[in-house]
Structure 1
């Protein structure tokens, strides 16, 4: 589904929610209270500014007795084949987040990847797929990164383990380009990047890949991922533990200034190696 038609479908979702809510005699505040979100959040659903999570759509169905309409619509709209099933909702949430904090222990985060890096990672994980499949995945990943260029972009923190900087994914020249890209975003103050040095191994080892997201009018969420699956969680106790782990990682990391210098130094090393091979 193209972006334009997807947005139109979300607008229909919102209009239908408003119609059914009003028919049931609920204000936005009243409906929100019954499905455990704020009235402002309901208003943003109705204006297609934000997308509800699946459990909220299910509670709306139950309360408004809509026969599963909103759950079915949600599943249809979130079903983006460019992304793994467990990741499609994360992409939707990234578009409305006010703050995103990521920790990457082994691979550059998708929001920071260049086309060459994304292509190499995709092929490494899927060595027998078609070129069309690879380019679709790369295009989707680059499209996600557009949120960092918008005027309303979220506050974005990325903590990288130093090992991530040393692996020449896609080759020496491509890795230099990748690190230059991160350095440029940092210098333009579109992202804040910190590097956990190898000497802090114990601290970095206690956390897998994680992504924390905050919103204006919704609880924070946590996304964690392994090589084969991911989990999107909003349990307050779990999110709080993840936030504490992230704070500890941030405390173990180099300062943004020192991290930027390390990233630029690594890029220069790769560039020098590329020129001699």
Structure 2
């Protein structure tokens, strides 16, 4: 029900965009050119297929002279998605990306998490929160992961440190299911996954998560995260350096098939442990 309401709200955004654009006598192609996206994207905004970035909404306001209407509506709709302030834009960028490269040194990436795994992480971080709050946060995270099940999904490449496989978040049964999901998605060719083994020693991005996103019509962006904070980096020189480091990271990781064998072996170990408790 909540998802339907949010979609209806974005449909309203699109309807208003179309109405005000047509009232101004501007075509989709013309508006797209003036706000630095394609005319096709304007059409997708109007049909609520895609959601614009904040800066695009702001430029639409400028071109259509709508007094900040679309900026205010965008902020309201994004806020209702339930993400932390520093992550709102990242969640939107994930939906627009044609390629996503994740590195996680400690946990399964959010886009790959099962609900049980997410729930265990959320509860650990919020021990006094209500069950309703936890379930809402889990739902938001699960919804993010749907982009990898879609026919138009981005190319997704995850590199995990072996410690991600060895820390039993939620217990053995939860971990078995979580690692099974990662392996299944890789076997179904929906994702690529590699593991940096303990034996690799030091490695690029040591101890730091990193998300590199590439787009059809915008420069690539890097996202990094700290304690209750996140940073988007789009300086071309910085992004180029991160890409180089990610290539080095993949070089020290196990090959995909060997990584999958390790993941499936860890899942089986957890399954045996769960069956004896």
Distance 2:161 2:58 in 1: 39
Distance 1:67 1:116 in 2: 44
**What residue in structure 2 maps to residue 251 of structure 1?**
251
**What residue in structure 1 maps to residue 241 of structure 2?**
241
- Does the aligned pair in 2 maintain the 1:183–1:260 contact within 8 Å? yes
Task: Note the alpha carbon deviations across 1:128-179, whole angstroms, 9 max, x for none.
Answer: 1111111222222222222222222222111101111111111122212221
Q: Are 2:148 and 1:165 equivalent residues in the alignment? A: no
**What residue in structure 1 maps to residue 10 of structure 2?**
10
Q: 1:59-138 alignment to 2 at 5 Å? A: 59-80=59-80, 82-138=82-138
Query: Measured at CA, do residues 218 and 45 of structure 1 come closer, stay the same or move farther in structure 2, by a change above 3 Å?
Result: farther
Q: Are 2:196 and 1:196 equivalent residues in the alignment? A: yes
- Does the aligned pair in 2 maintain the 1:105–1:161 contact within 8 Å? yes
Deviation, 1:22, is: 3.8
- Does the aligned pair in 2 maintain the 1:207–1:245 contact within 8 Å? no
Deviation, 1:32, is: 3.0
Matched residue of 2:86: which SS? coil
Task: Note the alpha carbon deviations across 1:209-268, whole angstroms, 9 max, x for none.
Answer: 122223333333332222311233444343333322222212221111000011112122
Quote the RMSD (CA, aligned, Å). Answer: 2.3
Q: TM-score, normalised by structure 1?
A: 0.89
Q: TM-score, normalised by structure 2?
A: 0.89
* Equivalent residues, number: 277
Distance 2:221 2:42 in 1: 18
**What residue in structure 1 maps to residue 53 of structure 2?**
53
User: Gaps spanning 5+ residues in structure 2: where?
Assistant: none
Matched residue of 1:121: which SS? helix
Matched residue of 1:49: which SS? coil
User: Gaps spanning 5+ residues in structure 1: where?
Assistant: none
Distance 1:232 1:11 in 2: 28
**What residue in structure 2 maps to residue 155 of structure 1?**
155
Q: 1:203-218 alignment to 2 at 5 Å? A: 203-206=203-206, 208-218=208-218
Moved over 4 A (4+): none
Distance 1:234 1:37 in 2: 17
**What residue in structure 2 maps to residue 39 of structure 1?**
39
- Does the aligned pair in 1 maintain the 2:81–2:140 contact within 8 Å? no
Query: Measured at CA, do residues 124 and 101 of structure 1 come closer, stay the same or move farther in structure 2, by a change above 3 Å?
Result: same
Q: Are 2:265 and 1:265 equivalent residues in the alignment? A: yes
Distance 1:135 1:146 in 2: 17
Deviation, 1:34, is: 3.1
